[in-house]
A and B are shown apart, each in its own frame.
Chain A
Amino acid sequence: MHALHLFIFTRRPRPSSSHVFCWKSDVSSSYGSTLRYKNVERMKPIGKHSLLGASGEISDFQEILRYLDELILYDNMWDDGNSLGPKEVHNYLTRVMYNRRNKFNPLWNSLVLGGVKNGQKYLGTVSMIGVNFEDNHVATGFGNHLARPILRQEWHENLSFEDGVRLLEKCMRVLLYRDRSAINKLQIAKITEEGMTISQPYSLKTYWEFSAFENPTQGAVGSW
């Protein structure tokens, strides 16, 4: 079962080096063309510093979470004051995804991994074939086509958290209009050096009252 969903992440550095991230995903999981599950959390905190979001096959995402659970557990068991940050987790995921791809048995996910550690912000992505990179904003699925162009125009280094949220909501609304597998129920996560919060699911208002919508084919013969 797939969730071909969008993730958008933006990040912004603040002078006092407490960096803030925000990202969004909706809470839906589809089964073919049916919007089957409408309350699936696709963003999860990893360790102290990172957040993982996924689109694609949910069973594989659940398995990845188990792998990461073990990774973090072993890291904690060293009890040496160190903890795996987003860069390290991203690297681990890249290896896992790429190696599975080489065995022709991929984990069918697009992953986004972000976080803040020691004042350093990090945002990266890995695909099911092992393509990985980091950027100021990333997305999965339709998000790449619909949201990133908006972000390329409107993202800048000094976004406040509120502006970031508004920007993401603008992107999510477009995806709601244009992605068949999207539902109007989403979560936003905020990550700072101090910690991370994931909001409760909420819905966005949509706009349909264009006169062109009410009478799209005025004057035409037939309704097309």
Chain B
Amino acid sequence: MKTERKLEKQARTVRSGYLYILSLALSASRDTAKMDLNMDSNAPHSMGTTIIGVTYNGGVVLGADSRTSTGMYVANRASDKITQLTDNVYVCRSGSAADSQVVSDYVRYFLHQHTIQLGQPATVKVAANLIRLLSYNNKNMLETGLIVGGWDKYEGGKIFGIPLGGTLIEQPFAIGGSGSSYLYGFFDQAWKEGMTKDEAEQLVVKAVSLAIARDGASGGVVRTVVINSEGVTRNFYPGDKLQLWHEELEPQNSLLDILNSPTPEPMNI
């Protein structure tokens, strides 16, 4: 129908965020309108976000940016992409917001039951395998890349990457989302085994910050979650408090402050 087609054109898939545009609800049952119209379908599908998980000597640190975009618009500049599954296991979400949310919800539900039946906290491996099951068995419909990280008493801190097809891969560190393209070289150089908690967290913050600098689909604040035997700590690094990179300038309140300062910069006329 003509109206349906018109609405579908306007509908957008929401990338890693919470806000649903009304037209989404109005369009056909399974909305798969893509915002990137000029993509080669054989290339890997890029996903808005930067997500990271690293293991350190004693636990894991998960990190993510906070930008949710729908097309070129930033729907949410302060989203929380690091989602709790159990007391000791969290997941970083990237790709389609809807898909990553629904997968997280299902897995949280299953893990809750599993924990009751088991009588003790679920292991990171079990959580990761549940995510894998959903991702793999629905691979034709889902578009979400996830990084599962946590701590359990059997294996300590563990990170599992579950990219688009539903492959499960345990790694000492994992990166995902569209911003991760800019971090492969960085981690090749900066990653080392057996870091301390602070070293690991600083690495994650630096990495997300670098990705934000170059990836349009990543931005906002850096959120981190540290999980170890002692528990879980959430941290928040606001965008304006991050280190400045190449060609980035010190933020000012106004031009007037610069002009009125004791050593004014000469103006270009």
Contacts and interface: CB of A to CB of B under 8 A. Distances in A.
A54 to B, nearest CB: 12
Contact of B181 (A34, A37, A58, A59): A34
B139 A32 contact: no
Contacts of A34: 44, 181, 184
A4 to B, nearest CB: 13
B165 A59 contact: yes
Interface in A57-74: 57-60, 62-63
Contact of A59 (B42, B43, B44, B139): B139
Contact residues on A (Cβ < 8 Å of other chain), bracket: 10 to 19
Contacts of B167: 1, 29, 57-59, 62
A60 to B, nearest CB: 8
Contacts of A131: none
Contacts of A1: 44, 163-165, 167
A32 B44 contact: yes
B141 interface: no
A40 interface: yes
A133 interface: no
A177 interface: no
Contacts of B103: none
A40 B184 CA distance: 17
Contacts of B171: 37
Interface in B44-93: 44
Contacts of A32: 42-44
A40 B136 CA distance: 18
A62 B164 CA distance: 14
Contacts of A37: 169, 171
B205 interface: no
Contact of B44 (A31, A58, A62): A31
A59 B135 CA distance: 10
A57 B165 contact: yes
B168 interface: yes
Interface in B152-193: 163-169, 171, 181, 184
Contacts of B42: 32
Contact of A63 (B43, B136, B169, B184): B136
A58 B44 CA distance: 15
Contacts of A63: 136
Contacts of A33: 43
Nearest to A37: B169
B171 to A, nearest CB: 8
A97 B240 CA distance: 54
Contacts of A60: 165
B40 to A, nearest CB: 10
Interface of A: 1, 29, 31-34, 36-37, 40, 57-60, 62-63
26 contacts: A1-B44, A1-B163, A1-B164, A1-B165, A31-B163, A32-B43, A32-B44, A34-B44, A34-B181, A34-B184, A36-B163, A36-B184, A37-B169, A37-B171, A57-B165, A57-B167, A58-B165, A59-B139, A59-B165, A59-B166, A59-B167, A60-B165, A62-B136, A62-B167, A62-B168, A63-B136
